[in-house]
Amino acid sequence: QQPVQSPQAVILREGEDAVINCSSSKALYSVHWYRQKHGEAPVFLMILLKGGEQKGHEKISASFNEKKQQSSLYLTASQLSYSGTYFCGTGPSGAGSYQLTFGKGTKLSVIP
């Protein structure tokens, strides 16, 4: 089942912060975040494998709340280069399977 992302789109000025949420109606075992710039391929940002895990990549970090079946991506002091569509992907519970199910994405636009 496809995870649900919110918001669908957000516009920020440089330096502002944003939060992108990803939630699932099914139990989450892993959450994967990717960013796709217009006309380009998705690029891996980070993966969270355990409930409660938090990770960071420059000024982009994420948390994983297993109980609430959701993950949030935090973008701090946004830069123009952060513009793009952010996808969360959820991994399966079964061992040995590497199938990801992606949300529809959140389009982030950072303006000067």
Partner 1 sequence: DAGVIQSPRHEVTEMGQEVTLRCKPISGHDYLFWYRQTMMRGLELLIYFNNNVPIDDSGMPEDRFSAKMPNASFSTLKIQPSEPRDSAVYFCASSRLVDRWTQYFGPGTRLLVL
Q: Does 63 bind partner 1 (CB under 8 A)?
A: no
Q: Which of residues 73-112 bind partner 1 (CB under 8 A)?
A: 87, 89, 91, 97-105
Q: In one letter, which amino acid is 26? A: K
Contact string 5-34 vs partner 1 (x = CB under 8 A) = -------------------------x-x--
- Strands (DSSP E) contained in 1-112 are 4-6, 9-13, 18-23, 31-36, 43-48, 54-57, 60-65, 70-75, 84-90, 101-102, 106-111
Amino acid symbol at 73:
L
Per CB under 8 A, the list member of 9, 11, 43, 77 interacting with partner 1 is 43
Interface residue list for partner 1 (CB under 8 A):
2, 30, 32, 40-44, 47, 87, 89, 91, 97-105
